[in-house]
Amino acid sequence: MSFPKTFDRLKVVVMALAPRARRAALEQVIAWAEWERDLAEDEAELDRELDRELAPASGRQVVAGSEWRHGKMSMRQEEVKCGKPSCRTCPHGPYWYGYLREGGKMKSVYLGKNLSPELQAVYAERQQREPHEDAPG
């Protein structure tokens, strides 16, 4: 959210106005600030909702740091426990899963052991533009 910076710039503009115009402008700014704050709260609530909906299914573990988003789809790698008592290779994967909202419902899509070449290209480009926070440099 770049709101405080925007607000500072607006304050400079408003204070330069004649007193009468300033009052009207201030009322406008306050209305806008409230709207902006409501929007931020809505967004935060949506994020929390998304986190709840994206809780991993039982037997699945999200690979830390694998989450990323492209367009409407959130993607991440998950390791899967098959639940067979005789299994010696659990957990399986990691596999890529995509999540997207469709008609108000969260839909999960299996993307495979590897991302498609198209998604891999987007992912690689993204990594170059926005290097991971704990990457050197």
Q: Contact residues for Zn ion (CB under 5 A)? A: 82, 87, 90
| Complex with Zn ion: residue 71 or 85, whichever CB lies closer | 85
Q: Least CB distance from residue 82 to Zn ion, whole Å?
A: 3
Phi, psi of 91 (to 5 degrees): -80, 160
Cα–Cα distance, 102 to 22 (Å, whole number): 46
| Complex with Zn ion: residue 13 or 90, whichever CB lies closer | 90
Cα–Cα distance, 17 to 100 (Å, whole number): 47
Cα–Cα distance, 129 to 124 (Å, whole number): 9
Q: Least CB distance from residue 113 to Zn ion, whole Å?
A: 15
Q: Least CB distance from residue 64 to Zn ion, whole Å?
A: 21
Going 83 to 84 to 86 to 90, the CA torsion angle's sign is negative
| Complex with Zn ion: residue 89 or 128, whichever CB lies closer | 89
| Complex with Zn ion: residue 19 or 85, whichever CB lies closer | 85
Cα–Cα distance, 45 to 51 (Å, whole number): 10
